Chain A
Amino acid sequence: MKRTSKLFAIAVTLFVAAAFTLSANGQGDGETIKIGVAGPHSGDLASYGIPTVKAAELVAEKVNAAGGIDGRMIELVIEDDVCKPEVAANTAAKLVGDGVVAVIGHICSGATKSAMGTYLDSELLAISPSATNPPLTQSGDYPNFFRTIAPDDAQAAVEVAFAYKMGYKKIAVLHDKGDYGKGFAEFCKAILEADGKAEVVLYEGITPGAVDYTAVINKIASSGAEAVIFGGYHPEASKLITQMKKKDMDIAFLSDDGVKDDTFIKVAGEYAEGVYATGPIDTSSNPMAIEAVKAHQDKYGEDPGAFFINAYAAMLALVNAIDVADSTEYADLTNALRSNYVDTPLGSISFDEKGDAIGVGFAVYQVQNGQYVELK
């Protein structure tokens, strides 16, 4: 009997403890400006979320060191959403409860969609450095959404235009069945079919984590494709390219922003040579980008990861909007974001009516001698 009532007591305590600890830090003190940072900070997609946290921290430190925004300091509220929609809804509720004025994030498009509803109801805006799903801005459902990265359809257009330029007539379009990869692949396929300038000879999803891809690769080979467009992330891309090259297949490999990551080159090694990938226009010569990367190296002792520059730009845009609007109200902030240009590591950017950044675009890169080089 003792045991059961003890367990009962434990359950009740757990309940109460949850209720109090989780709600303890609910009130803001009004002095600081709270900015939420949300994304995957643990789990297998953590490497896409953590650079954004670091970018936000660097900008916040810099602003605070210079006396804050009109004397008010920035305080970051960092929450993990593991890139899962159901967790993101709770994360969003937490940020709203914590009294943030705006959010930098989320990282994954699915999680972003799930969180945006909560923000909209609470009159908060979010600037994502990485959610590229087109409906986020184009559907008009999320007037509070902004992003410092170009949407997938713009990227797909760049990719397809490049394929035409290279003269490929038969193209295999593959994807990883994921939110991002499949969306990208669908746009590529749609554009190719609408134009009719090249034939889509194969359109398939591969299974991430499968023990072997030779069946798909054989299929590519027998489809007679001259080029493969792959939508997805670098782990699958490097497996595909490695096995294709091992079979001596001479087919061009074109991919997306998820592959335009130095990790891809390091993992795929010599097989990465010659791969094309689209990515945001090269900013390495932008003085602000150089400064931001240097700040990161000084503080963390390593090069920044994925979407760092985009997150840095997002944070700067937000800080600037708060400064210009001289307010943290939703209407003032969205207005300020849309009507002002701000200097960021991505160049001088502003936001259009839908929330897409003006002045942000894509370019095509190729792996040459173990490095991504922008093709002009």
Chain B
Amino acid sequence: MFKLNEIKKSFLTSIWFMFLTFPIMVIKVNTITDTVEWRWKNLAYVGIGAFILSFVWRWALDRRAKGGKAKKDKTGFNDTILSRTSQLKLPAIIGLGLLVVFLPFFSGMYTTSIVTTALMYVILGLGLNVVVGLGGLLHLGYAAFYAVGAYTYALLHYHFGISFWVALPLGALFSAVLGLLIGFPVLRLRGDYLAIVTLAFGEITRLVLENWNDFSFGPSGIANIARPGIAGVKMKLPQATIFIYFIAIAMVILTIFIVNRLENSRVGRAWEAMREDEIASQSMGIDITKTKLLAFSIGAVWAGFVGVLFAAKTTFINPASFTVWESITVLCVVVIGGMGSIPGVIVGALVFTLLPELLRSVSEYRMLVFGIALVIMMIFRPGGLIQKTRKSYKFKEEGDGK
């Protein structure tokens, strides 16, 4: 491994990175006080770091290249993960289930609250997965639907004192309607054009919330949104936190159930067909208009649900919570987890929300590490953490079941 050639390569990489990081890492100019600070030590760190990392990098890429080939040879097209893990699955699910049920009782309010956030991302991820993963429609304005749900509850509560339970379906309904409204004009668009137009819709929604004071109270937001209660009983905060946690759990289970059913339904297959090839699917008799609009609105429903829950959990909302960045976060959850795969999206959401919390100890480097982690994850697992396996119908023959 440590051939001369390799060392030379790493040496050159290290020189290159020393050159690259020189102005930003070494010189610190403060144009306010007119002082310059030279941090030569950093140059040495970068040099040594780049030298070592370039070995690791090449080794990893090498392994990836080999690993990819080996896997293909061995497994062929369709070695389903589900069948292989089925022995493991049951105990794991029971363990996880117990953990989920008892978590809020042995951990603090903070943990419960963080995990609730993670669960909300699970639902958001599963919802967006319908649009992006199944329908193949790149959607960058998902936060708008989320905002609609949150504002539905906040405004109805403020003006009419409507309760959480009434707002929950209403939020989902309004969200779905917005999904249809956005869906219509973009029917003809595809790929990156679709992405940018959905981004535009998302931003317009936020800008309206920010500027239309009479309607949405503008950037100062809406405060004192009630937490959910049962039959008008007002709960103390710790109980309310736990209650919201269980609502989130219930919603996650419901979402998984419905999305799973949808996936194998007529509509679900139409989505997948549309994702693979719009024209071919059309010629097979799939109504593309209906299928697309359905994807947008069903995806939006989940965002609406989570929006209502979000408003109830934070008790205060303002437009700053619904930026493009939020949409991108949810998209990251879907892609990192594995597009189209339900367990993938769940793992993606947990990683995406819990990892930054665990990284709090390295607080200032948190986003730096996180950015790099995204890149590395994509390079080494481009299909996501848990890749989707297509349902396949095998012959009971020896062959590879194509």
Which residues from chain A sit less than 8 Å from chain B, CB to CB? 1, 4-5, 7-8, 10-12, 14-23, 26, 41-42, 80, 84-86, 88-90, 93-94, 96-97, 109-110, 113-114, 117-118, 121-122, 133, 135, 141, 177-179, 182-183, 186, 205, 263, 266-267
7 pairs, CB–CB < 8 Å, chain A vs chain B: A7-B386, A8-B92, A19-B103, A85-B317, A89-B314, A90-B117, A97-B110
Closest to A110 in B: B318
**Known contacts A19-B115, A110-B318, A135-B223: A7-B347 contact under CB 8 Å:** yes
Chain B window 105-134, contacts with chain A (Cβ cutoff 8 Å), 1 for yes, 0 for no: 011111111110100000000000000000
Contact A12 B316 (CB under 8 A): no
Question: Quick one: which of B108, B313, B351, B366 contacts A97, CB cutoff 8 A?
Answer: B108
Question: A12 with B351: in contact, given A4-B85, A19-B107 (CB under 8 Å)?
Answer: no
CB neighbours of B310 from chain A (8 A): 86
Segment of B5-13, B213-221, B276-284 engaged in the interface with chain A: B213-221
A81 nearest CB across to chain B (Å): 12
Does any Cβ of A come within 8 Å of B376's Cβ?
Answer: no
Say yes or no: B221 contacts A179, CB within 8 Å: yes
Give the distance in Å from the alpha carbon of A241 to the alpha carbon of B204 in the complex. 29
B316:A114 contact, CB within 8 angstroms: yes
Q: Does B56 contact A (CB under 8 A)?
A: no
A22 interface neighbour in B33, B111, B237, Cβ under 8 Å = B111
Known A-B contacts: A11-B347, A11-B351, A114-B315. Give 13 more (CB < 8 A).
A1-B84, A8-B85, A8-B343, A17-B358, A20-B107, A22-B107, A22-B111, A22-B357, A42-B364, A42-B366, A85-B221, A88-B314, A110-B219
Chain B residues with CB below 8 A from A8, complex form: 85, 88, 92, 343, 347
The answer to whether B111 touches A18, judged by C-beta atoms less than 8 angstroms apart, is yes
B-side contacts of A133, CB under 8 Å: 220
| Chain A residue with Cβ nearest B112 | A93
Complex: how many Å from CA A41 to CA B364? Answer: 9
Contacts of A89 in B (CB 8 A): 113, 313-316
Closest Cβ of chain A: how far from B347's Cβ, in Å?
Answer: 5
A26 CB → nearest B CB, Å? 5
Q: How many residues belonging to B are interface residues under a CB distance threshold of 8 Å? A: 59
B357 contacts A18, C-beta separation under 8 Å? yes
The one of A93, A122, A141, A267 in contact with B224, judged by C-beta atoms closer than 8 angstroms, is A141
Among B115, B317, B350, B357, the residue within 8 A (CB) of A11 is: B350
Q: Is B332 an interface residue (CB 8 A)?
A: no
User: Is the CB–CB distance between A182 and B315 below 8 Å?
Assistant: no
Interface residues of B in 299-325 (CB under 8 A from A): 310, 313-318, 320-321
Pick the 8 closest A-B CB pairs, nearest first: A121-B237, A1-B84, A114-B316, A97-B108, A94-B110, A23-B107, A23-B108, A266-B32
Does the CB pair B316–A182 fall under 8 Å?
no
Q: Are B321 and A23 within 8 A (Cβ)?
A: no
Inter-chain contacts of B33 with A (CB < 8 A): 266
> Nearest Cβ distance between residue B30 and chain A, in whole angstroms?
10
A15 engages B350 (CB within 8 Å): yes
Given contacts A97-B109, A113-B316, contact A18 B363 (CB under 8 A): no
A14 x B316 contact (CB < 8 A): no
Contact check, A41 vs B363: say whether CB atoms are below 8 A apart.
yes
- The answer to whether A21 touches B385, judged by C-beta atoms less than 8 angstroms apart, is no
